[in-house]
Structure 1
Amino acid sequence: MFGRIGRAVVLRPWVTISLWLIAAVALGVFAPQLKATSDQADFLPSHYESVQAAKAQERAFPQHEAPAAIAVFQRTDKGKLTEADQAAVAKVSAGLEALRLDHIKRVETNPQAVSPNGEIALANVVSDLKDPYDQALSESVKKLRTEAKQLLSGTDLQLGITGQAASALDSREASGDTDSMIMSATLLLIVVLLLIIFRSPLIAVLPVLIIGMAFAVATGLISTASELGGLKSDGSISAILIVVLFGVGTDYILFLLFRYRELLRGGQDPKHAMISAVALVGETIASAAGAVIVAFLALLLSTMGMLRSMGPALAISVAVALLAGLTLVPAVFSLLGAKAFWPSKAWREEPKNAVAGRIGNLAAKRPAGVAALTSALLAVLAVGVLSFHAEFDSESSLPQNLESVQAMKDLQRGFSAGQTDPTAVLLEKQDGSALDQAQMDAFGAALKKVDGVGDVSPAVTGANGALAQYSVVLTHRPTEDKALALVDGPLRDAAHRAAPEGTKALVGGTTAVLADIRTAVNHDYKVVFPAAGLAIMIILGLLLRSVVAPLYLMVSVALGFGATLGATVWLFQNGMGKNGLLFTLPVIVYLFVVAIGTDYNILMVARLREEIGQGRPPREAVRRAVTASAPTIAAAAVILAGTFGVLMLAENSMLQQMGFAVAFGIMLSAFVMAVLLVPTLTTLLGHRAWWPGHRSTQPQPRTGGAAAEQAGPAASRADDRTLV
């Protein structure tokens, strides 16, 4: 099949290129914009209590208003506020409200908004938006900060703005333009590394242009699928798409070009060489892409909409990268022929691959020792997983010098930490009749008795009086672990117990949403990972026609996953003293290390199977396979790992964790598992590794001359059918 694909695109290159150009332009013009949301409540299933609370709020209070940010006033000398200071607070708040900025309805304060110690005064910045992470709202908060400096002139006050909208603004600015940073780093790495490997400006630039076209097609397909399927995408999906598409796309191009160059050295003419390369590597690329696609599609089993929407989007991007690797790349390079390597002539000479050769010799001569040493290394690193702690407090990852962080610390000198984002507790009459005042008072009193609750506001009733809302201020920051545990346990239990007969109590708000996300994520870990592992193992079995090889490959993948996550725990939790790691980190490691890292195992094992199929003993096959495949794997891994490694330059510790984990995991997958562990295990097992398909790995007749003999049986069969 792959030989036929190769012939079709190589013999009709302009048709192939034209079809890709038409698809890219059409999708760019007609595909809808990819819509993203940062509201995590949108991603939870409807049966979670926080989602039910949000829907009840929308029914009872259709004209949504919420404190999106809080202005924190204090004296410049940190002393107690005077009457003149309090008057200035009211004047500045009124001045900020008079600006009439987008989505800011009011900036309100009152004499009761002064802390008990008299040092801090607050003003609520009330928005008409449900989503405090909306970018337009963030821009309005930014303008508030600028205008406040002029309004404070001539007073003894200073002002800091904190809260969700302010934190979102600071997070965005502290992280910088992450998409641009990732894109720039990726393009630079691809160009520089390809230039070093092939010493050709054409080969350095062409893959970037090819993947850029594939990126345009993939983005258009994803946005169309999202529009038709009604899926939401997380705000971070664009950055992930860039890395996935450019990462795996470059992998597949390298897989093809390394074999193409090898066949040219063997004496084949460029068209035959490209057709043979597609025939030889096509199955490997398709299997690698298939493993990644099914791993991403396993996210459809997640209870969280964020992951469910991410799965198909990433699967589409990998499918487009696969299609480009099998059609667009061969078509473009078939037009150039050997001129693609200009001005270098080094491609004509067999590379020494001295380092790869020594590694191959070591893996072949001492497989037991190498396998034991690498397994022990992975196991030691994996021990760190035992102390993994998921962190849901995204604000704790921000640099400490940001205004929202400093203002929060100032606020906590006088108020409860939960003042910035109170938890919403709702009491609703089931039959739709009005609530009794005595019932509402008793319910509010019960909430005040919960340990960890700082304050409970008087009930605010909806239009028909059937629903009452209480703003519950916690003594903990809304996103920290203690707040999540309090809301998910004692507060919800107390609210449910105190609800009078005929009523229903619901606990919502940011803290409740995060608590429910924690529950959903823990469920998904138990479902998604095993399903993805099983699907990958089935694909490996079909590729290798073996039951044994997929088993030890998946064991090595599991070890790599544990080692990656464990090493991140060792570094950030134990070494740098962080409270925990990003709660989505295991999923991120799974997406990029397990799924994409499996590509390198597939490439190595496919080459091993090919070498054994040519009649070589297992040890010799391992030596040759490692020597031939290690440079390809190394180049692909360095590009992908380097792309993520750039994130470690960010000031946000969550981005640093993600950057380190993926970069380290990819390098581990490539240089430890694919190059050392998998070949040595294959050597130790010998022909048993291919059971029950061992007959297919026995020597086969070779035809087609010296060039075909170097390329292997598959290439010979492709040559026999080419251009006749």
Structure 2
Amino acid sequence: MFHRLGHFVVKRAWWVIIAWVIGSIALIATAPKMSASTDESEFLPKHYESIRAAVVQQEKFPAEFSPSALLLFERKDGAALTDADKADMAKVVKGLTDKHIPLVEQIIPPIEGKTFSPDGQYAMGMVSIDKTKMQTDEFTVAAKDLREEGRALASGTALKYQVGGPAAMGLDQKESSSATDAITMLATIVLIVVIVGVIFRGILVGWLPVLLSIFPMIAASGLIALVTKAFDLKSSPIASAIDIVVILGVGTDYFLFLMFRYRERLRAGDDRKAAVANGVGRVGEAIASAAGAVTVAFAVLLLSELGMFKSLGPALAISVIVTALASLTLTPALLAVTSTKAVFWPGRKWMQEPEGARFHKLGKMVSRRPGLIALVSGGLLVILSLAGLGYQGTFDMAKSMMPKDKESMLVMDTLSKKGGEGAADPTHVFLTTSTKGGGKLDPAGLDGFGAKLGQVPGVAAVQPEPKLSEDGTTADFVVVLKDSAASNAAIDTITKLRSTAHPAAPAGSEALVGGTSSIYKDINLAMAHDYKLVFPVAGVLILLILGLQLRSVVAPWYLMASVGLGFAATLGATTVAFLKLGSESGLMFMLPIFIYLFVVAIGTDYNILIIARLREEAREGRSPREAAKEAVRHAGPTVAAAGFILAASFATFMLAGNVLFAELGFALAIGIVLAAFVMAMFFTPAITALLGKKAWWPGHGAMPDHGPEAVAEREPQVAGRA
């Protein structure tokens, strides 16, 4: 199949290139515009308690003031606010009101005794912004206008004026994400150009994977936008940066898979077009299988309870499919119409295989001592996996997704420190009969219910008088927790609060716990669901793909076992780096999912490439140990180059300046290093050598392949190979 595809592409190279150009432009031109959501509650299904509570709040208390922005006033010298400062604050608020900033509905000035800090050093004003426009650019523009206009009004006074809250966080997140995307793309491109150029000793060849990624990137963006709109999926602000690295990283992987085979065929004596066609024929199945495994791993996220992953999974799956198609069609087409001298210019020794190449030595080492190699490499993965037992998750996305010096983060920090950790974002407990179809609440039972809420460990205070809805069916109890809303301690308190509120609800009524901490609690529950469903389903599907590719029942099992060890080892190494050696209180709750996405999915690529070469060498009649030596010798450089580039690409996330991307960058980089340089390079070939012909049971992996295509293209044994 792939031999025929290679010859088809070579014969119609210009038509293939033209088709990619026209198709990519058409897709992006017709694609709808996407907007990213920063509201965690939008990523949860409606049946979760926090979402049900939000619905009750919206229906029963529609006019309740809910600030979209917070105005923080402090003195520049840090002293307590004076009467003159209070007068200046009133002028600023009035001036902002008179500006009639678009979407701003109401501005409430600081109120003494309520929104002043106990020490009198800061005061907080609250702004209501049209929430129907939350997912539009105008919503964050309103926060930007509040900042600029407010600073102008406060100039010449002793006041320090800052804007925080959801709208300001959205603005800061947007600016931070834009910078992250630019840094990630630039750093990744530089890495690819330099490393690929050095490997193949050429200038154009270094730029080829980048240039060849442009059209898949355009086409994938258009398709993702169309699918997102068609199925009403949500888009996360971190998706774009990840998608860039996936297309560039995976595209470079597949480019290297093909380029090493292309150069190998040239060294074996093929002319340019024959080398391209035979290269596709030889490595096409490995690329397709690798892309299939990655696509399945991503697509299975459709089963996730979290909208963030439900949308991210298909988006990344589309990116991988498009990239793989480009690698099997666009890349060979471009190579077919470009002279080899131009591709490898100015290098002159690319036709010569280095004497005593290091991968030849590594191959010999694996073949001579497979037991020791398997023990050492497997032992390293086990040791790192044990370190993962200290994993602790955290849900504070706001602090993790933005640099700490962003204005909204400074406002949040001040409110938390001076106003009490939980006061800045209280929890709401709704006691309602409307969901039960009953009548009005009995006021006599409200005091006792509120008193029970106040006795829950972790609760700092309960508002004395609950607010009743106009129809008398619902009461809103405002509960202030002792800890910040996104902390693990607050989430634990929510568990206790629910277990107290639910049975304490009077007959005919229902208690629903809402608010930020409740949302995080439900995200925690959704993650637990995903771990139990998504991981096993993905594992079974990848196992089937490996079995079909290798025609074996045995090999897929130890390949998946090694990938599982790689996942645990990656989590362990990241836990040590950030929790043991670093100062973080926990790793971002989504980190295990991302490790699964990239280490399990993409890391499988390298195992597939090395096992495909092992099978190829075995089919040519070599003994298991000899096959392991040749596989490491010939596929080792590809795995090493691809793994190093992808790991370095992920490491560029650490330049973004926030905790989330620092953790992501480190985890994914170390995970790819383990997948390429420990699992694929040593563990997999060593285990295969130890098992011998049993690894291919019940197929015929150890039988020589005498098919006409294989005979026609089997390289001379005396020829140098990459």
User: TM-score under structure 2 normalisation?
Assistant: 0.92
Q: Does 1:241 align with 2:246?
A: no
Q: Verify: 1:566 aligned to 2:569, yes or no.
A: no
1:466 aligns with 2:473: yes
CA change 1:494–1:102 in 2 (3 A) is farther
Aligned with 2:117: secondary structure?
A: coil
Is 2:486 the counterpart of 1:482? no
Match of 2:370 among 348, 364, 367: 367
Unaligned runs of at least 5 residues, structure 2: 718-722
| CA distance in structure 1 between the partners assigned to 2:412 and 2:671 by the alignment | 36
Q: What one-letter code is carried by the residue in structure 1 that aligns with 2:672?
A: I
Structure 1 residue 335: Cα displacement: 1.3
**3-state SS of paired residue (1:177):** helix
Per-residue deviation, residues 143-181 of structure 1 (Å, max 9, x unmatched): 433444443345444344443444444455556611111
Kindly report which structure 2 residues correspond to 1:14-25, keeping only aligned pairs within 5 A, or say none: 14-25=14-25
User: Quick check: 21-30 or 92-101, which moved more?
Assistant: 92-101
CA 1:235–1:78: 2 relative to 1, 3 Å: closer
| Residue in 1 that maps onto 2:113 | 112
| CA RMSD of superposed structures (Å) | 2.6
* Aligned equivalent of 2:626, options 616, 620, 629: 620
Please state if 1:384 is matched with 2:390: no
- Deviations 1:574-604 (CA, angstroms, capped at 9, x unpaired): 0012111011111111111110011011000
Return closer, same or farther for 1:186/1:345 CA change in 2, 3 Å cut-off: same
Instruction: Give me the whole-angstrom Cα distance separating, in 2, the residues matched to 1:424 and 1:498.
Output: 16
Distance in 1 between the 2:147 and 2:539 partners?
A: 50
The amino acid of 1:429's aligned partner reads T
Within a 5 Å distance, the mapping from 1:90-129 to structure 2 comes to 90-108=90-108, 109-113=110-114, 114-129=116-131
1:66-85 to structure 2, matched below 5 A, reads: 66-85=66-85
Q: Which residue of 1 aligns with 2:720?
A: none
Whether 1:426 aligns to 2:430 is yes
Taking a change above 3 Å as real, the CA distance of residues 352 and 425 of structure 1, as seen in their structure-2 partners, is farther
Identical aligned pairs, as a percentage? 45
Change (3 A) 1:542 1:437: same
Conserved? CA contact 2:69–2:163, under 8 Å: yes
Whether the aligned pair in 2 keeps the contact of 1:105 and 1:127 (CA below 8 Å) is yes
Distance 2:497 2:97 in 1: 35
State the partner residue of 1:715. none
Q: 3-state DSSP class of the match of 1:66?
A: coil
Q: Deviations over 1:197-246 (max 9, x none)?
A: 22333322232222110111111112212222222222222112111111
Alpha-carbon contact 2:188-2:652 (below 8 Å) kept: no
Pairs within 5 Å for 1:319-398: 319-339=321-341, 340-352=343-355, 354-397=357-400
SS of equivalent to 2:621: coil
| Counterpart in the other structure of 1:454 | 461
Worse-matched range after superposition: 86-95 or 617-626:
86-95
Q: Return closer, same or farther for 1:563/1:358 CA change in 2, 3 Å cut-off.
A: same
- The answer to whether structure 1 residue 503 and structure 2 residue 509 are counterparts is yes
Partner Cα separation in structure 2 for residue 7 and residue 301 of structure 1: 39
Q: Show the counterpart of 1:208.
A: 210
CA contact (8 A) 2:72 2:162 kept: yes
Residue equivalent to 1:545: 551
Q: Does 1:671 align with 2:677?
A: yes
Distance in 1 of aligned mates of 2:154 and 2:692: 78
Q: Note the alpha carbon deviations across 1:532-567, whole angstroms, 9 max, x for none.
A: 112111111111111111111111111111111100
**Residues 132 and 120 of structure 1, relative CA distance in 2, 3 Å threshold:** farther
Amino acid at match of 2:274: H
For the 8 Å contact 2:304–2:310, the answer to whether it is kept is yes
Residue 622 of structure 2 aligns to a residue in which SS?
coil
Residues 218-257 of structure 1 aligned to structure 2 (within 5 Å): 218-257=220-259
Q: Output the amino acid matched with 2:493.
A: L
**1:69 Cα deviation after fit:** 3.2
For residues 276 and 487 of structure 2, the distance between their equivalents in structure 1, rounded to whole angstroms, comes to 56
Contact 1:133 1:168 in 2 (8 A): no
Is the deviation greater in 102-111 or in 602-611? 102-111
User: Given the superposition, is the C-alpha separation of residues 414 and 652 from structure 1 closer, same or farther in structure 2, using an over 3 Å criterion?
Assistant: closer
Counterparts in 2 of 1:101 and 1:423: CA distance versus 1, 3 Å: farther
SS at match of 2:628: helix
Of 117-126 and 525-534, deviating more is: 117-126
Measured after TM superposition, the shift of residue 85 of structure 1 is: 3.6
**Contact 1:163–1:421 (CA<8 Å) still a contact in 2?**
no
Deviation digits for residues 659-702 of structure 1 (CA, Å, limit 9, x no counterpart): 00001110111111111111111111111111111x34223448
CA distance in 1, matches of 2:416, 2:55: 31
Q: Distance in 1 between matches of 2:404 and 2:30?
A: 44
Name the residue aligned to 2:713.
708
Q: How far apart are residue 130 of structure 1 and its match?
A: 6.4
Deviation at 1:492, TM superposition (A): 2.2
AA in 2 matched with 1:382: S
Stretches of structure 1 lacking an aligned partner (at least 5 in a row): 713-724
Q: Say which SS state the counterpart of residue 506 (structure 1) adopts.
A: strand
Amino acid paired to 2:219: V
Structure 2 counterpart of 1:87, one-letter code: A
The total of aligned residue pairs comes to 710
* Deviation at residue 370 of structure 1 after TM alignment: 1.4
Give, in angstroms, the shift of residue 129 of structure 1. 1.6
Specify the alignment match of 1:590 in structure 2.
Answer: 596
The whole-number CA distance in structure 2 between the counterparts of 1:668 and 1:581 is 20
Could you say which residue in structure 2 is the equivalent of 1:275? 277
